[in-house]
Each structure stands twice: as C-alpha cells, then as structure tokens.
Amino acid sequence: MNRLFSFIYGKLADTYKLKNLLTFGFFLCAIGLIIGLYSQTFSMVLIGCFIQAIGASVSPAIAMLIPVRYFSQEERGRALGIESVGTALGTAVGPIVSALTVSFWIGAGCFVYHFYSC
C-alpha cells in the first residue's frame, strides 16, 4: 500500500506544492488513526489502518524529492545518501519498535502511540 501511494504522491508533487501534499497526507494519517482508535469492530480497524497507510505514504515520496529539488548538484549525492541511510535505519528498527509497542499496548492503544509519532 505504501509504495503504491508513494508513486501517486510523487506524480502529484509535480502539480501541487510539497507543503500542501504533506498537510493532506498527515491529515489523512490522523483521520485513519482516530478511526482506528475509536473502532469497535475489526473491519473498522482495518479501514483505519488503510486510511493511515494512504496518508503516511506521503513521507517516502517527499523524502526523495526534497534532496533533488532543494540541494545543489554538489550536495545532492550526500543528501540522498543521508536520506537513504535514514530510510534503511527506519526499516531495520521499525519492527523492533512496533513489537515493543504491541507488547505494552494492546488493541487500540497502539493507535495512540502512532498518533503522537505522526
């Protein structure tokens, strides 16, 4: 889901401002988190996670565009390298943090944690 909507946000970044895309993406992420937090059925939790994924997928798309647009040719390689290291580190540490989160908060409490990290 994340990669699919990253492509869509990447195409939309050619038309709209990055600030507007980030605002829209984080707004959708927050809406999905609130739906998941107050859900009473498993299907509503899935819908909340789906909306959250659509909103959160703006981050990887924008993260690759910022070094390309706003850094000079000399600094662009370094900026893309730092961004790639951050992405790889997040991919490696993410499952560990999520496992710890699930072990402490069960059910809808995980959405509270994601709401503060978003």
Q: What is the pLDDT of residues 32-67, one digit of tens each?
A: 988 988 888 889 988 988 998 898 888 888 888 888
For residues 88 and 63, the answer to whether their CB atoms sit within 8 Å is no
- Domain containing 71 equals 2-117
DSSP letter (8 states) at residue 40: -
For residues 12 and 21, the answer to whether their CB atoms sit within 8 Å is yes
- Whether 111 has a pLDDT exceeding 60, the answer reads yes
What's the structural domain count of the chain? 1
pLDDT (tens digit, 9 = 90+) per residue, 8-39? 888 888 899 989 999 999 899 889 988 988 88
b or e along 63-91 (b: 16 or more beta carbons within 10 Å of the residue's beta carbon)?
ebbebeeeeeeeeeeeebeebeeeeeeee
> What does the alpha-carbon distance between residue 35 and residue 39 come to, in Å, rounded to a whole number?
6
Count of other CB atoms within 10 angstroms of residue 33 = 26
At residue 109 the predicted structure's pLDDT band, cuts being 50, 70 and 90, is: low
- pTM greater than the 0.85 cutoff: no
